[in-house]
Amino acid sequence: MINLNDSTIYNSFADHPLASTYFKYIEILISKNLNQEAQHLLDIAHVPLTDEISNEIAEIMGGIYRMIDQNTDYTNEFIELGKQINTTH
């Protein structure tokens, strides 16, 4: 879960630094013709942040970051090269 609380007060999530990732996700939804879902996410991004809205957005952002993490290649090219060199000797 992403903690949306920091020392800055935001009028809505659209003003939050994490909003750019959130809006990229919305663009993906729109490209997949999931317009109703995208509209809901756009709507909650622009309303005042309540605990309920913050929790909903935190769940969405947490899911986005888990998806990014699962699809990230953590292979270190230098370690892999070293393994290849060691197996050839």
Per-residue pLDDT of the chain (89 residues; tens, 9 = 90+): 344 555 678 889 999 888 998 999 999 999 999 999 999 999 999 999 888 998 999 999 998 888 877 776 766 666 666 666 666 54
pTM of the model: 0.67
Domain region containing 70: 13-88
Q: Which two tokens stand for residue 41?
A: 């996410």
CA 54/CA 84 separation, integer angstroms: 47
CA 3/CA 20 separation, integer angstroms: 16
Number of domains the chain contains: 1
Residue 76 lies in a domain: yes
CA 82/CA 65 separation, integer angstroms: 30
The pLDDT value recorded for residue 85 is 65
CA 13/CA 45 separation, integer angstroms: 5
Residue 3 lies in a domain: no
The pLDDT value recorded for residue 81 is 66
Residue 6 lies in a domain: no
Q: Using an 8 Å Cβ cutoff, are 56 and 62 in contact?
A: no
Residue 72 lies in a domain: yes
Residue 82 lies in a domain: yes
